[in-house]
Every structure is written in structure tokens, then in C-alpha cells.
Chains A and B, each alone.
Chain A
Amino acid sequence: MAQVSLEGIRKVYPNGFQAVQTTSFTIQDGEFVVLVGPSGCGKSTLLRMIAGLEEITEGTLKIGDRVVNDVDPADRDIAMVFQNYALYPHMTVRKNIGYGLKNRGNPASEIAAKVEDAAKMLNLTEYLDRKPAQLSGGQRQRVAMGRAVVRDPALFLFDEPLSNLDAKLRNQMRIEIKALQRRLGTTAVYVTHDQVEAMTMADRIIVLNAGRIEQIGTPSEIYHNPASTFVASFMGAPPMNLIRAQVEQGEVRINGYDGLMPAPASQNGPVTLGIRPEDVVLDDHGNIPFRVDILEELGAHRLLHGVVGEQPFSVMIGKDDAASTGTATLNLKPEALRLFDPETGRKL
């Protein structure tokens, strides 16, 4: 168990590419933190720096009370689960799980007992003598987990561990990993590009973009109060509607439409207006005209895609609500409106 703190961590590759800009944050003991962002945003680099697989260009990394910048990965008391599992193909499941313990000189009887325990926890007992090639994707994933769990490390690192699984298995493993982490109480850092994974698993999410932290917060904070238009459009499916608007005398005016509504910000001038599709109400007496082009059936609800004042806009309605393509009018929930700076994309 340990707290992990990054102080001014930065990564510049020898070719001059800055993969991670100066970042600082602290992960609390026992916390499940998800690093999320599009590919190339530096999330994996950040994780690999914590693992010790990538050198830290600048800054201080602490696991527990120890500065580990120059500590070998083997001595950082961490365990990592890789995207392609990285199981040793020629070893049985038993040996795969026990390899780390064996290298650390644990007595054979102790290794055997710990491997049995880990296998039991992950329902792998009957597969202990198989080789990875004889296992299904989900089972291999479990073996990779077992290899991490068996060492009882201070910190789990997950590098997109579920992206090689099919959707159904992914949902199941998501819950299993989360439950396991809860039970063991081990601090975990989890990297993914899948915002659903981030939302469902994290205690706290760190959203990264282009090597920079966009926002750190709980899933609910990130969802309801995105710090930037990037976070607003990246997190949540369907993404937040972002449309150009004007603030004049404390009221928001949507471009191309004259209907005014009260604005929570006092600033005048152009803004980007954000609102989640579920915070929009179709209303025959609404004051914003909405042209519905496409009706998307999602089962639990329906999604209407169309335009408001020549800007793309989507609205989520319940599965039983009537809807058709064509013109409609809608109302926005004023408390759900978010305003962003149109230049920087930051929250106002």
C-alpha cells in the first residue's frame, strides 16, 4: 500500500518530442486512478515512467516515502498488467504466476502456496498446469492479473489491460478488476483510452491531452463539470453538445438564433456553450427550434441528431418518448449549461 506522488514530472524523448509536459499530482493510498486520453496523449508514457520502464527526464517520483527515479522496476514494489498480457509462452500458468517470486528468492513451498491462493482468487486453479496458448483471452487476462496479485505489491499498474478482449468480456473483467482492487486495497493506476472504462472504474480520473493534464477529478466531477471543451467532448457518450454562443448583458444568445436565456456568467462576448444531450428537453412550447435529421435507437433511450442554429446538436430522450425527424423545439436546463472560452476551450 502506498501513496504515489509525481512532482514536476516531464518526459522528453531523445528526438526532442515532449511526450509529457510538466505534471504534478498525488495518488492516495488505496486509490484507483485512471489515466484517460486519446492515443498519443502521453498516458502510457506516464504509466511507464511510474513503472520505471521509461526514464524520467525531469521531476521527482515517489512511491510511498521513497524517491524511485533511479530505482530499478524490479525494486519499486510494483506489478504491471500489459495490454497483450506479456505472459511467458513456454511456462505453465503456475510458473508464470510464480516467476516474480522465484526471482526474488522466495522458498519453493511459499511460492507454491501463494500461487495457489492467487489462482483461487482468480478462478484459475484448474488451469495452473496449462500453457498460455491453451487459454482463452479472458483466462490469459486473469493469469496476468494473478502475476500482479501474487507479489502483493504496493502499486498496481494497468496498461490498457482490457482492450484485447471482446465487449462482453471487457465489461465482466472491468468489474472483476475493480472488485479485486477494492478487496486488496492496493493503490492502482490504470491507463485506458476508453472513457467508459475510466468512468466506471475510477475513484479519480486524470484526463490527458497532448502530454498535458486537462482535468483531475472524480467521474462525476469530470462528467458534470468538465474543465475544458476537450474533456467535455472526450468524456461521456454521447459527448456534450458544444455550440457557439454570445453573452450579452448576462444572457446567452445562440448564434443564428435570437432566443435569449439567462446566463450563469457575467462575461460579455463570444463563448462556447456546452450542454449534455440528456439535459435538453423536447418541448412543444420550447424556445429553441431544433431540426431532427437522424433518430438513433439505443435501447434504453433514443438519441436525436440534428441542428440548432446551423450547428450540430444532439438530444437524448427516453425510450418511450415520441420523436420523429423534422422540426421540433426544445428547452435547455439552465443549471446544466456550461460555458467555455471559445479560444482556449477552458471553462469560464
Chain B
Amino acid sequence: MAETTLETPVETHRPRRIKWGAIGDHTVLILGALLMMIPPLLALTTASHDAVTIHREGLQLTLGDNLGKNFHAAMFEKGGFTQTVDGTLMLMNSFILGIGFAVGKIIISMMAAYAIVYFRLRFATLAFWVIFTTLLLPLEVRILPSYEAIQKLGLTNTYTGLIVPLIASATGTFFFRQFFMSVPEELAEAARIDGAGPWKFFVDILVPLSRTMIAAIFIIMFVFGWNQYLWPTLITTDESFFTLVRGIKQIVLSYTDSQIPEHGQALALAIVAMIPPVAIVVFFQNWFVKGLTESDK
């Protein structure tokens, strides 16, 4: 064997060149980040002042000493017309809506995609395109008939009425369809020979294979559901079903008896409303990227 000596490369100390490109990129990114950060920061600082100050002087850039008090009041003080609803209840309602919405959408769209891809339905392609065209009919377009139907069914002021009409998802069906079509056909055949029926194949093979997809879609749908405003506003008149997103406005209007609106508490609630979606995206971002870009087939 030829003798080889590993030479440590002689370090050449060249004056570091200033990479203007990198500096430019970072400037843009930092400015963008600041632009995005300022409103929530302002909300936080302003929420730390009492109602009178905010009412008199507007948004506050400095931290006041009422932060804890405002948060406490927003979360635990009963308010509203009925004096029964507080921040924690609304938080819970938001979670029920967000999770119910996301889970429901995933279940429905996975099963729809499963039927379209794996079963020789006569009109599978047509059915898919019909589902797909519902993308052209968002809730806002069909809100009157949807409301009418839910109201006739007596589902106003119920979680069912809040969640079920929003559950059908063309986007989810589309994503899962694309994913299922990329799963090798032999896998289904091997499972068939292994004695797995349609249900077992779905539960034992397809669902575990789709877990990154499920996580990605869960994130998107949870945030989407959490931020729903129009539909909950229409369908729930009972304050005990209020979600955070719509409850914030209610606080400003009628949270307390005082003449000055409790802006501090409203902003505190706004921050609380922001945390869960952000947390989910932060914690699940790895899954999210994996689900959208790769798959371990």
C-alpha cells in the first residue's frame, strides 16, 4: 500500500471578505421578522396597563404593572351578559373547535381518499373532481343554506353544529389522494395476500404510513379551525359556546360594567388566543416539513 500522509492544510488567513449578499438577506429577514413581531409585542405591552391609561393614551410601548391582573381577569373573571363565561371556558371551546375540526377533517378526507384510490368505484374520478370543485364553494358562499340546514336540524348552539358543517375537506382529500397514489401498489397486494382486508390494510398500513401527512394536515386544519370567526358567530348565540377568537370582541363591548372598555383584558385574551396555534406550529414543524416533502414508503 502506498504510504500516504495526511497533511493538515495550511491555514491561509485571508482578510474576510464582507459578503454583502448575506448581509442584505439578513437585513430583509430581520426587518420582516420585526414587522411581524411588533403587533403582538405591542399587544403584550399594552395589555400590561390598566383600562384608563389605555383609553386615555392609546397603545403603550412600555411594560406597565397590570399585566398579571389583566391576564387573570381575562381568564378567570366571569363576564358577558350572562356573567357565566370566562377566558378559560372560551379557551376550551376554541380547543374543541380546533381539534374537532382538524380531527374530523382528517378522518373524513382520509376515508374519502381511500375510497377513491383503492376501490374500483364506477365514478371514482368523477367523485374526486366533484369533491375537488367544492374548493370553489367556501363556507362564505354557502353560508345561508348551511345556516338554514343547521338551524332546521336544531344544531345551533351545539358543538356538533359548530364543527360538522366545516368538516368536509377537499384540500385534505386531495392531499391524501396524492399520497395514497404514491404508495406502491404492491404494498396493497402484499397485504391482501397476507390476509389483511380493506379495513385492516387501512388501519395497519395506510394510517401509519400517512402519519407525517396526518401531522401536517392536522397543523394546517387546527390553525384554520382555531381562527374560524364567521361560522361560530352565526351558529352560537349562547355565550357558553363562544370561542376565544370571537369572545375578544365581546369583552371589549360588555365585559365589565364600567364605561371604559377593558382593552387591556381584550389584548391579554388576544395573546392567549395566539399561543396555541403558534405552539403547535413550533412543536410540530419537523413533522410538518416531513409530511409535505418526504414520505417513508
Contacts and interface: CB of A to CB of B under 8 A. Distances in A.
Interface stretch (A86-94, A118-126, A177-185): A86-94
Chain B, interface SS category: helix
A133 B189 contact: no
A99 B192 CA distance: 11
Interface stretch (B11-19, B193-201, B234-242): B193-201
A97 B193 CA distance: 13
Interface string A44-56: 0000000111000
A103 B209 contact: no
B193 A88 contact: no
A36 B79 CA distance: 80
The size class of the interface chain B forms with chain A is 10 to 19
B164 to A, nearest CB: 31
B17 to A, nearest CB: 42
A18 interface: no
Contacts of B149: none
Contacts of B192: 53, 72-74
Given A90-B208, A103-B200, A74 B194 contact: yes
Interface string A29-64: 000000000000000000000011100000000000
Contact of A103 (B186, B189, B195, B211): B195
Of B187, B190, B196, B296, chain A has the most CB atoms within 10 Å of the CB of B190
B256 to A, nearest CB: 54
A61 to B, nearest CB: 16
A84 B184 CA distance: 9
Given A84-B184, A86-B184, A90-B209, A103 B296 contact: no
B190 A82 contact: yes
B292 interface: no
B59 to A, nearest CB: 51
A2 to B, nearest CB: 16
A80 interface: yes
B296 A86 contact: no
Contacts of B191: 88, 99
Interface string B153-192: 0000000000000000000000000000000101101111
Contact of A74 (B193, B204, B205, B296): B193
Nearest to A133: B296
Nearest to B210: A90
Contact of A100 (B186, B193, B297): B193
Contacts of B205: 88, 90
Given A88-B205, A89-B296, A89-B297, A103 B190 contact: no
9 contacts: A53-B193, A74-B195, A80-B190, A82-B189, A88-B190, A88-B191, A88-B205, A99-B194, A103-B200
Given A82-B186, A89-B209, A90-B208, 5 more contacts: A51-B189, A53-B192, A84-B186, A90-B209, A147-B190
The 7 closest A-B pairs by CB, nearest first: A86-B186, A100-B194, A103-B195, A74-B195, A86-B190, A90-B208, A82-B186
Interface of A: 51-53, 72-74, 78-80, 82-84, 86-90, 99-100, 103-104, 133, 147
